[in-house]
Amino acid sequence: MRLEDLNDSQKRAVKYTDGALLIIAGAGSGKTRVLTNRIAYLIEECGVDPYNIMAITFTNKAAREMKERVETTVAQGAGAVWVSTFHSTCVRILRRYIDRIGYDNNFTIYDTDDQKSVIKDICKKMNIDTKMLKERAIMSKISSAKDELKTPDEFELEAGNDYNLRRIAGVYREYQKTLKLNNALDFDDLIFKTVELFQSDAEVLEHYQDRFRYIMVDEYQDTNTSQFKLVAMLAAKYGNICVVGDDDQSIYKFRGANIYNILNFENVFTGAKVIKLEQNYRSTQTILNAANAVISNNIGRKSKSLWTDNGEGEKVNYTLYENGYDEAEGVASGIAEYVRDGWNYNDVAILYRTNAQSRALEEKLMIHNIPYKIYGGQNFYQRKEIKDILAYLKTIDNGLDGQAVKRIINVPKRGIGNTTIDRLQEYADFNDITFWEALVNAKDIDTIKNAALSKLEPFVDLIGRLRAKEEFMSLKELAEAVIEDTGYIESLSQNETVEEVEARRENLDEFINKVVSYEEGCKEAGEEPTLSGLLEEVALIADIDNLDESEPHVMLMTLHSAKGLEFPIVYMTGMEDGLFPSYMTIVSDDSTEIEEERRLCYVGITRAEKILNLTSAKSRMVRGETQMNAVSRFVKEIPPELMDNKPPAPRYQPVVADKSSRTISAPKKPYLASAGTGSFGALGISKGSEAVKGGKPDYDIGDRVRHVKYGEGFVTDLEPGPRDYKVTVDFDDAGQKIMYAAFAKLEKI
């Protein structure tokens, strides 16, 4: 332990050992160094038994790294320090004492597939249509309830008269009964049941309170209600709790993180000491000044201002491009120039708000022969939804690619099993024909029963219809038709969360952009765009060798994935209102939504050590439509004197939602209208824009409407979305339903 290597604030945090302590650790302020030295100080200077020290992290990786650092810092006894994640801690406690709340100690932990299977069986038993109330949605609601420590009874009470929530409450109750019967816990139960154990058994609680007399929690801004409750109970006897975090980096609200755990720490732990670590060891002062300026616009935060001894550094580079393709070209060209100047590919990271934005960047990097890797994700053309639509297009093109046909023969699910596919392949092999030809002639195959034929024929007909459309449609229209006619998005929503569906939808939107750019490129070259030509171009782009991890490469990632990482050179792309911050947060009535986006921007800025590049585009293609974009408000929040290029004043007025009338302009051809929030790429004006699905529905709040399945009811809410209007109807018999106008087909009475 070398306290002389710490700054004054860090030393104070290390030496404050008795009572509650909140360490506000700004980005790059050396919080891990403080935590490990604090553990060492407790052991070596205060004489605390390592057995009585607990350090909690969020990931196994962080726990391993902290344990290693403690072992190198502490002379002896480090192995007895309890360094673990929340869930690992709870498993160890429950393995010993869960029998006290009615479970066997050898309980099973259910994974997501196990959970889904149980939920599916319960829904079947309760006659719940999982096409209307999806299993993943139910699982998500139950998980959120457990994070908030809500029992089925409490969940039902809060559901009130909401029909769907009451049904979910019923599923939740049955789900817990089933788990108990099978002596099983799910992931969320690990913390939930530990809290329950502590609440019901004072002896067990006191045992662990005496065990963990000194508690430290890392990344405290990411804790949810159940995690907060757990550590609060453990610390209640001795009060020696030290939490480390940065409210300005709280970006996981969608995962259940509660920023108020850190904002209200002093209110919960009376007399708590607050120490701010504001000296940054990562970035230049200019980068920090930019980050400070942006985040200062948030109201819900603890005031702090990062500073450094690293020097002023270069100004923030801001570049406004004509369009998204120019932006991608500019980024790739810029990286190539950095490398010529002596930087390494490993020095560079490209950050973006959504995964879909990677497509144009990936293509330009490949053209420039710049090696890259997608951090925490897949390359664009390796994503399931993109491979699926490409398989459809290959099948439409010639049908010779048997692998492509096999990939989509049951996507979306048509009840075509592997046995049927095997028999088709056997027939093809025997007769030396393609799989597609066997499929077309399936009625001649003796081993294929009529039941299977009834499922194969609609698929063949679908491909036939799409081939007919190819004759008179543009490639863009054909790609849209594939997505529409197959019901692809709707099928995804049956098995995936709203967030997952939205990410895939955004990627499909981006693929449409690729199709349009191919068509435009052909026209500029005086060539006829063809489906074969499109597929050939995509194949050449997508066919890249697997990256050698040992070789230098540029990192591409979402802003969320970038948290905790740092790079000498950072590009933040797509800095436009409607993209970042997202359109939905801009029009949201909840001001905390835009503040979360601003914290995400702060995280992005503070990843940069030496050079920060911000880029945006005047126009960007969104689902094949050119859309004008306003420069992100976050860019405008950076003082001009810190930037190389001042953001221009907008030459146009962005479209702003009129919340009183609840009307808004949106791009035409909302072919992906479905449940969930949208990727309405930017707040702006679409060329030739028209209202969603031809305009606002002919009914309004208070009107009585009729649905083909649910009967009659009153419209209680009508809200515009990026692709469609979200309609809430209180049906006379079916209760409350939230639908989208394009799918609901409601008739005004």
Residue 350, pLDDT above cutoff 90: yes
Tell me the range of 115-129, 226-240, 543-557 where mean pLDDT is highest.
226-240
Please say if the pLDDT value at position 656 is more than 70. no
Total residues belonging to the chain: 749
Cβ atoms < 10 Å from Cβ of 288:
25
Please give the model's pTM, rounded to 2 decimal places.
0.74
Write down the pLDDT at residue 232: 95
> What percentage of the chain exceeds 90 in pLDDT?
45
* Higher local confidence (pLDDT), 710 or 254: 254
Question: Locate tokens 């921007």: which residue?
Answer: 601
- Least confident segment among 15-19, 402-406, 417-421, 688-692: 688-692
CB 618 within 8 A of CB 629: yes
Residue 724 has pLDDT above 70, yes or no: no
- Residue whose tokens read 């001001």: 591
At residue 688, does pLDDT exceed 60? no
Average pLDDT over residues 273-300: 95
**Cβ–Cβ < 8 Å for 7, 34:** no
Question: How confident is the model over 460-496, as pLDDT tens digits?
Answer: 899 989 988 888 889 999 999 999 999 888 887 766 7
The full 3-state SS of 400-424, as one line of letters, equals: CCHHHHHHHCCCCCCCCCHHHHHHH
Which pairs count as long-range contacts for 737-740, CB under 8 Å and 24+ apart, including other chains? 737/163, 737/164, 737/707, 737/710, 737/713, 738/164, 740/673, 740/674, 740/675
- At which residue do the structure tokens 């999806």 appear? 134
Per-residue pLDDT tens digits for 609-627: 999 999 999 988 877 778 8
Give the pLDDT confidence score for residue 661 in this predicted structure.
Answer: 32
Across all residues in the chain, what is the average pLDDT? 85
What would the pLDDT profile of 573-607 be if each residue is shown by its tens digit?
999 998 999 888 988 888 889 999 999 999 999 99
pLDDT of residue 695: 65
The whole-number pLDDT of residue 650 equals 44
- Which of 397-401, 501-505, 674-678 shows the lowest mean pLDDT across its residues? 674-678
pLDDT of 654 > 70? The answer is no
Active centre residues (catalytic): 31-32, 218-219, 249, 607
* Distance of alpha carbon 428 from alpha carbon 39, whole angstroms: 68
Spell out a b/e string for 146-181, using b for 16 or more CB atoms within 10 Å of the CB, else e.
bbbbbbbeebbeebeeeebbebbbbbbbbbbebbee
Q: Please check the confidence at residue 538 and state whether its pLDDT lies above 70.
A: yes
Q: Is the peptide bond before 412 cis (omega within 30 degrees of 0)?
A: yes
Average pLDDT over residues 409-438: 86
pLDDT of residue 673: 28
How far is Cα 532 from Cα 553, in angstroms, rounded to an integer?
32
- Does 738 have pLDDT greater than 60? yes
Tell whether the model's pLDDT for residue 697 goes beyond 50.
yes
Q: What is the pLDDT of residues 27-69, one digit of tens each?
A: 999 988 899 899 989 998 899 999 999 999 888 788 888 888 8
Pairwise CA distance, residues 559 & 274, whole Å:
29
Band (pLDDT 50/70/90 cuts) for residue 723 is low
* Range 254-281 average pLDDT: 91
Distance CA 245, CA 170 (A): 38
Q: Is the pLDDT of residue 214 over 50?
A: yes
- Judged against a pLDDT cut of 80, whether residue 419 lies above it is answered with yes
Measured CA distances, 419 to 54, 449, 462, 635 (Å):
55, 11, 22, 57
Integer Cα distance of 175 and 172 in angstroms: 5
Please indicate whether residue 547 or residue 174 has the higher confidence score (pLDDT).
174
Least confident among 99-103, 601-605, 660-664: 660-664
Question: For the chain, what percentages of helix, strand and coil (3-state, to nearest 5) are there?
Answer: 50, 15, 35
CA of 38: how far to CAs of 27, 217, 641, in Å? 19, 12, 40
Angstrom CA distances, 317 to 313, 524, 614, 640, 641, stand at: 12, 32, 6, 11, 11
Q: Which tokens in the block code for residue 210?
A: 């005496």
| pLDDT at residue 602 in the model | 97
Query: What is the distance between the alpha carbons of residues 283 and 28, in angstroms, rounded to a whole number?
Result: 8
Does the pLDDT at position 663 exceed 60? Answer: no
Confidence of residue 680 (pLDDT cuts 50, 70, 90): very low
Distance CA 301, CA 600 (A): 14
Query: What's the confidence (pLDDT) of residue 722?
Result: 55
Angstrom distance (rounded) from CA 241 to CA 156: 34
Per the model's pLDDT, the better-predicted residue between 296 and 453 turns out to be 296
Residue with tokens 């970006």: 251
The predicted pLDDT at position 375 comes to: 87
For residue 430, what are the contacts with CB-CB under 8 A and spacing of at least 6? none
Give 46's contacts (C-beta < 8 A, 6+ positions apart). 17
The pLDDT of 216-225, averaged and rounded, is 93
The pLDDT assigned to 444 comes to 84
**Range name among 200-214, 215-229, 343-357, 614-628 with the lowest pLDDT average:** 614-628
DSSP string, 680-732: ---SEEETT-B-GGGSS-S--TT-EEEETTTEEEEEEEEEE-SSSEEEEEEET
Alpha-carbon distance 75 to 636, whole Å?
51
What pLDDT does residue 541 have?
A: 66
Cβ-contact 77, 46 below 8 angstroms: no
